[in-house]
Structure 1
Amino acid sequence: MKTDQRNSIFIRCCYGYAVSGMAVLVIGAILPSIIKEAGISFLAAGGLLSIMAIGNLSSSFIFPVMVSLMGKKKSITIVTLFVPSSLLVLSLLPPLAVMYAVILLYGFARGCITILNNAAVNDIYGDTATSKLNILHCSFAVGAFLAPLLTAAMMKLGFGWKITLYLIVVLTIFSAISYGTMNYQLIDDRKSKSNNSVAGNRGFLRSFPFYCIAFILFFYLGVENCINGWFVTYLQNTGVMSAEFATTLVSLTWLVIMGGRLVCAAMSKKMHRSTILLIHSIGSAVCLFILIKVNSLPLVTISLLGLGYFLSGIYPTCIANAGPLIQGSTFGMSLLTAISAMGGIFTPQIVGGAADRVGIVAAISILVFNVVFVVILSAVNFRIWHQKKKVGQTS
């Protein structure tokens, strides 16, 4: 495959992922306005975040079937058009049941884009895909950084949240066109040359380390989805900052996450993955404890940015840690994704339900439970991998 052909596919995937990051994070940025104008409860708003995660999870099972029936090109083109149409319907503030339906489609489309992007970059770059995947995931962080910042800028200029939504609608339409005109034959040709027989491996099903990593991701994604969906609302309700500063701060957190992932990629060349995971887990726990205990604007700002930095390395490091266990198994990756996604489904709903009773500021403390378990399981994972290292050295 020619370099310029591969670069064309890669650039389109990066653009699609950046727009996906914007589309996902804008929901959290405008959630306070939706709660106020639609008159819905925190529990109902938490349901929106959970429904989005359910849609994301369903893509792991539905999108492969769509591709087998219609092919990649037609499937992803149809799916990516769900995003602008969902945002347009959401801007009308329809009844809650309709909101749930469009957010379900919205989450499903996000999951399909993730699947396609990761698979495409893996397939066209093969053994050299690691650095490209890091850049790909950074492009999502770029979009996630820009969405709250754009929302804050619009608020500062006196525009409503719907204007931000309409701007992202335009970008997502261009994304759908980009995916619709991509050369999928090049991807399929490269994939057919690199298929590996280990894809059918099932040994991980009896592996405790596999489930340890899966449940680290379960509790981690609960925290990440709450940051994406609840933290603008949370920061506004603390009373220590303005609405504009809150949305800007969440945006800056994603900028830190982007940088953190690049730092983590560099660290992985000098340090074992389990060690990196434990360090980042402990750091995220410390930052979350500080965040929920202080009322000082400088300390809240520093602790949230620190939380973003330490959380940034957990997901990709877990995926890399699971690699030797699942040995390229598609089923293994799907199961890992499914278990982890459940945390992203349940946690925002639990936080939303608690917020109706005790307020969003107190309800965010539930995330302490998540980070404590991330630390415990990361410590177990660290011990498992280093025991294996000792055994290998003595044998």
Structure 2
Amino acid sequence: MVLGLCCLFFFSLGVTVASFGPLLPELSVLNQVDLSRMGQIFTFYFLGSLISQILSGPFSDRFGEKPLMLAATLLLMVSVATLPFSHTFSLSLLLFSLTGLGGGAIVLATNVLIARVYADRSVSALNLLNLFFGVGAFLSPALVGLIAGQTGNGRQILWLVSALLALQVVLFGWLRIPPPARTPQANAGTGMRFLLRSRLVWLLAFLLMLYVGVENGFGGWITVYMQRTANLPYEQAALSASAFWLALTAGRLVTVGLGMRLSAMRILALSLGGALAGSLLMVLGRGNLPLSTAGILLTGFSFASIFPSTVSLSSAFFPEQAGRAMSIINGMASIGAMVLPWLQGVLLNTISPTASTLLTLGGVAGMVLLLAAVRPLTRSTAPSSLPEAAGGFSDVLPR
């Protein structure tokens, strides 16, 4: 039940976040601002997420994940349900910030909870969890296009998400979750000061900063990019976003099994190699529909395991302060998500589509360099618990 409900949380979050990009043109008209300015919703969403990441880690370590997740889900439910009614740009930005507050806390709490409950097989369990984010993100753009075509109001998808979140609050309230193990606060080796001085923490943090920024920028602007470079109508261009999230979902399904056989470091290296090739295809294939489609699919597939594998490494090397370590790492990830999607929109709308794809390529290259710096530290550090690369698939099914 723990993994099953957490997967449902991530499904809802995937639907929500992946709807932002396809809804941009509609929100731009509704709020009477140009498309580039409307792209600030990504910055404000992840600003809220950044604040929640900073506050949620210590709260999770002290009180457990359940009260944090309940409060965050209620906040997300209310803000998402209110968004379709907003016709004022400043109010919309505030609501996206509140959505980010709730969503950021859910991301941190669920990843820490699953990494704790399934500590021996965290790579596979976290990939299964994030697989459901991908399922929701894959369905979302197509649903937005379908609803908009039928009703003229694609924002109605947010009301569906809000209803699903209300159900999850009820179910999760009934669920019994063991509290996290208490550790002596006097232990300097597990204190916040130790984490802030750890090179490994900061390398993982900058890696996720680039990844989350690049992923959300790519997924958020791919609809507009394909409209402009491949001359696709809106409904077909929105399917490009669905293709990206579908490929990401398929990659996570594959890495659920790979996590039983390969280490998190090996999976990260393979993922970044594929992402480098996919982002290069996007640069070279501008205006060419087959090449652009191949680049979208390869990039999405390769992105699949970067986030869960990084979370697995963090939880394995800092098991007694998993919440605080993830607070630092996810906080930096939120900064990337605040800046890079906005920057990608500026490049796309004011310079050229090629400039926006070069940003993706540069971000992936930066992640490759950071992983190279992480590798020797993971060999020299001796964590008290590491994710096992053994066991059966049934060991990570919901319970």
Same fold (TM over 0.5): yes
Q: Deviations over 1:208-259 (max 9, x none)?
A: 3433222121111110121232222222222342322222232232222122
Q: Quote the RMSD (CA, aligned, Å).
A: 3.2
Question: Partner letter of residue 314 of structure 2?
Answer: A
1:342-381 equivalence runs, <5 A? 342-359=335-352, 362-381=355-374
In structure 2, distance between residues paired with 1:75 and 1:282: 36
Instruction: Flag the 1:360–1:334 CA change in 2: closer, same or farther, 3 A.
Output: same
Larger % of helix: which? 1
Contact kept, 8 Å, 1:218 with 1:340, in 2: the verdict is: yes
Partner of 1:224: 215
Q: Which structure 2 residues correspond to residues 261-280 of structure 1 after superposition, within 5 A?
A: 261-280=252-271
The answer to whether the 8 Å contact 1:19/1:175 transfers is no
How far residue 149 of structure 1 moved from its aligned partner, in angstroms, is: 1.9
Q: Which residue of 2 aligns with 1:259?
A: 250
- 8 Å contact from structure 2 (residues 124, 257) kept in 1: no
Q: Give runs of aligned pairs for residues 1-395 of structure 1, distance below 5 A.
A: 7=1, 9-63=2-56, 76-125=69-118, 127=120, 131-157=124-150, 159-179=152-172, 181-183=173-175, 186-187=176-177, 190-191=178-179, 194-196=181-183, 199-200=190-191, 203-294=194-285, 295-329=287-321, 330-359=323-352, 362-382=355-375, 385=378
Indicate the SS of the match to 2:174.
coil
Contact 1:210 1:325 in 2 (8 A): no
1:248-294 CA-to-partner distances (Å, cap 9, x unmatched) read 23223222212212323433444443333223212212211211332
CA distance, structure 2, for counterparts of residue 385 and residue 76 of structure 1: 31
Q: Which amino acid aligns with 2:255?
A: C
Q: CA deviation at 1:319?
A: 2.4
**TM-aligned CA deviation for residue 108 of structure 1:** 0.7
Moved more, 13-22 or 150-159: 150-159
Equivalent AA in structure 1 for residue 219 of structure 2: N
CA distance in 1, matches of 2:203, 2:343: 23
Q: Distance in 2 between matches of 1:244 and 1:261?
A: 26
Q: Check 1:384–1:52 CA distance in 2 against 1; reply closer, same or farther (3 A cut).
A: same
Answer yes or no: is the 8 Å Cα contact 1:352–1:360 preserved in 2. Answer: no
Cα separation, 2, equivalents of 1:73 and 1:334:
17
The code of the aligned residue for 1:316 comes to: P
Asked if the contact 1:52–1:106 (Cα under 8 Å) also holds between the matched residues in 2, the reply is: yes
Cα distance change, pair 241–208 in 1 and its aligned pair in 2 (3 A): same
Using the alignment, how far apart are the partners of 1:302 and 1:71 within structure 2? 43
Any stretches of 5+ residues in structure 2 without a counterpart?
A: 383-399
In structure 2, distance between residues paired with 1:122 and 1:165: 29
Q: Name structure 1 gaps, 5 residues minimum.
A: 1-6, 390-395
C-alpha separation in 2, matches of 1:388 and 1:129: 19
TM-score, normalised with respect to structure 2? 0.82
1:73–1:182 contact (8 Å) kept in structure 2: no
Higher mean alpha-carbon deviation, 129-138 vs 311-320, is at 129-138
Question: Cα gap change, 1:116/1:333 in structure 2, threshold over 3 Å: closer, same or farther?
Answer: closer
Residues 292 and 334 of structure 1, relative CA distance in 2, 3 Å threshold: same
Write the distance in 2 (CA, Å) between the matches of 1:320 and 1:65: 19
Using structure 1 for the length normalisation, give the TM-score: 0.83
> Measured at CA, do residues 168 and 242 of structure 1 come closer, stay the same or move farther in structure 2, by a change above 3 Å?
same
Query: Does the C-alpha gap of structure 1 residues 273 and 98 become closer, same or farther in structure 2, counting only changes over 3 Å?
Result: same
CA, structure 1 residues 122+326, in 2 after alignment: closer, same or farther (shift >3 Å)? closer
- Partners of 1:374 and 1:31 in 2: CA distance: 28
Instruction: Check 1:208–1:116 CA distance in 2 against 1; reply closer, same or farther (3 A cut).
Output: closer
Counterpart of 2:249 in structure 1: which amino acid? M
Greater shift after overlay, 81-90 or 195-204? Answer: 195-204
Q: 1:81 to 1:94 in 2, by over 3 A?
A: farther
Look up the equivalent residue of 1:299 and give its one-letter code.
L
Q: 1:238 to 1:175 in 2, by over 3 A?
A: farther
Aligned residue type for 1:20? L
In 1, distance between residues paired with 2:59 and 2:314?
27
What secondary structure sits across from 1:161 in the alignment?
coil
Count of residue correspondences: 376
Deviates further, 241-250 or 338-347:
241-250
